């Protein structure tokens, strides 16, 4: 097992100790002073942003959040990445309890802070790190805390993200495969950025301690099983799993096996950096008829198959800052002038695939400008949309099995949806 943390310190922005918890008895409060001195020395260095400092046999790992430093000191050869990740989980838990983690919220909740630190780490080893589980036996009301009886948790082989004894009348699993498309098109119509960020979002309402197994059309898995891919398999990149997934099992045979948390969580995230054709393409032409009148012609075209339909489409078109009194006509949907954004917002509730629609707008300019001035602005066209039952990557859930010792049958529900992420067309 990797080396453990010796102590955890919470410091203010000037390096003064607000709270510290000693776990192993091999460091003192003076360690915080030495840490902050080393931190000040590093300021201005090219390596000053590194989250690990070593000095005289002690390793200091730290993160800064708001006006608070969270720092772990250890005299052992520890896993720095694991302990830095633990500090981020501490931040999440404190924010769950106090809304915001800052010096004032720590001073107002000293008792709860110490109780949480005792539950989250035992003898320098991380334990409970899920706020939802901690809140079951550490309850606060007007800065008061109640601790209820609970069985002790073993240091190893613990399912810290799920409570025992959960019961539901109807056992169900909801899995949403959500992909966000990021597109950036320059003023010449060339795609300069294109990628897809995906997430498998789950909501589980399952009794007991179920074992779930998920199968995807992952090329590596299908080839390992000797199955023909025939173009239906995908190459997943930059995969990140929730802590409940058995990573060793996935690395061995690409099986996604896990005991899920209760409620909502992200099971997996991934990224695809392959070139993506813009799903909705927008072209805009601006014509100045006089020094006080501008006409805009916009074409929006869906570039996906007819059997799919984009919903809640919103196209934000930048207009001159001194524009007023717009006259707008659209072949589909409605458009409204949003002066606070200096934009015309075109909304289309349902946009079928392989279709093109138009918008014409005329603006009057309140300020008089030179004849040669143009109404062009640097702000891009921004597009929002959702396409249900559709994924850009082609990812498919081949199966979702739920196995529990009581033998109940669970109902799995799977949905697919693609939406716009950072989707900008610099065409104006």
Three-class HEC string of the chain: CCECCCEEEEEECCCCEEEEEECCCCCCCHHHHHHHHHHHHHCCCCCCCCCEEEECCEEEEEEEECCEEEEEEECCCECHHHHHHHHHHHHHHHHHHHCCCCHHHHHHCHHHHHHHHHHHEECCEECCCCHHHHCCCEEEECCEEEECCCCCCCCCCCCCCCCCCCCCCCCEEEEEEEEEEEEEECCCCCEEEEEEEEEEEEEEECCCCCEEEEEECEHHHHHHCCCCCCCCCECCEEEEECCCECHHHHHHHCCEEECCCCEEEEEEEEEECCCCCCCEEEEEEEEEEECCEEEEEEEEEECCCCCCEEEEEEEEEECCCCEEEEEEEECCCEEEEECCCCEEEEEEEEEECCCEEEEEEEEEECCCCCCCCCCCCCCCEEEEEEEECCCCCCCCEEEEEEECCCCCCCEEEEEEEEEEEEEEECCC
User: Whole-model pTM?
Assistant: 0.65
Q: What is the pLDDT of residue 183?
A: 93
| pLDDT tens for each residue of 182-195 | 999 988 888 988 99
CATH superfamily of domain region 280-388: Mu homology domain, subdomain B (2.60.40.1170)
Would you say domain 172-276+392-425 falls under CATH 2.60.40.1170?
Answer: yes
What ranges do the domains of the chain cover?
Answer: 7-147, 172-276+392-425, 280-388
Q: What is the pLDDT of residue 148?
A: 44
Q: What is the pLDDT of residue 146?
A: 39
Sites in the chain below the pLDDT cut of 50: 1, 142-157, 228-229, 370-375
- When the candidates are 3.10.20.440, 3.40.50.10190, 3.30.1370.100, 3.30.450.60, the CATH number that belongs to 7-147 is 3.30.450.60
Same fold, 7-147 and 280-388: no
């Amino acid at each position: 097992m990797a080396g453990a943390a010796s102590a955890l310190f919470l410091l203010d922005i000037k390096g003064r100790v607000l709270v510290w918890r000693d776990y192993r008895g091999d460091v003192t409060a003076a360690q915080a002073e030495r840490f902050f001195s080393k931190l000040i020395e590093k300021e201005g260095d090219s390596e000053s942003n590194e989250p690990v400092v070593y000095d005289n046999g002690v390793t200091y790992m730290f993160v800064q959040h708001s006006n608070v430093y969270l720092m772990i000191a250890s005299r052992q050869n520890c896993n720095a990445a694991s302990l830095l990740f633990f500090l981020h989980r501490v931040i999440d838990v404190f924010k769950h309890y106090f809304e915001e983690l800052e010096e004032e919220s720590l001073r107002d909740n000293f008792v709860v802070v110490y109780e949480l630190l005792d539950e989250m780490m035992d003898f320098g080893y991380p334990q409970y790190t899920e706020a939802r589980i901690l809140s079951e036996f550490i309850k606060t009301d007007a800065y008061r805390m109640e601790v209820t009886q609970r069985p002790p948790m073993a240091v190893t082989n613990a399912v810290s993200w799920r409570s025992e004894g959960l019961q539901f009348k109807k056992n169900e699993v909801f899995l949403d495969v959500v992909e966000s498309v990021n597109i950036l098109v320059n003023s010449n119509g060339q795609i300069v950025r294109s990628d897809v960020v995906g997430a498998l979002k789950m909501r589980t309402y399952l009794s007991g301690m179920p074992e779930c197994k998920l199968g995807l059309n992952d090329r590596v898995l299908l080839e390992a099983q000797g199955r023909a891919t025939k173009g239906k398999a995908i190459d997943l990149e930059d995969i990140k799993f929730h802590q409940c997934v058995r990573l060793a099992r996935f690395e061995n045979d690409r099986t996604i096996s896990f005991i899920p948390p209760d409620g909502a969580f992200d099971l997996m995230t991934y990224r695809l950096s392959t070139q993506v054709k813009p799903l909705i393409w927008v072209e805009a032409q601006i014509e100045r008829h006089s020094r006080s009148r501008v006409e805009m012609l916009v074409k929006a075209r869906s570039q996906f198959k007819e059997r799919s339909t984009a919903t809640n489409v919103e196209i934000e078109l930048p207009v001159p800052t001194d524009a007023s009194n717009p006259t707008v006509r659209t072949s589909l949907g409605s458009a409204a002038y949003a002066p606070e954004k200096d934009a015309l917002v075109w909304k289309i509730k349902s946009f079928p695939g392989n279709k093109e629609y138009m918008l014409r707008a005329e603006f009057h300019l309140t300020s008089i400008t030179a004849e040669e001035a143009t109404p062009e602005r640097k702000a891009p066209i921004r597009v929002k949309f959702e396409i249900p039952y559709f994924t850009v990557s082609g990812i498919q859930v081949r199966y979702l099995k739920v196995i529990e010792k009581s033998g109940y049958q669970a109902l799995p529900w799977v949905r697919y949806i693609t939406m716009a992420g950072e989707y900008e067309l610099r065409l104006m």
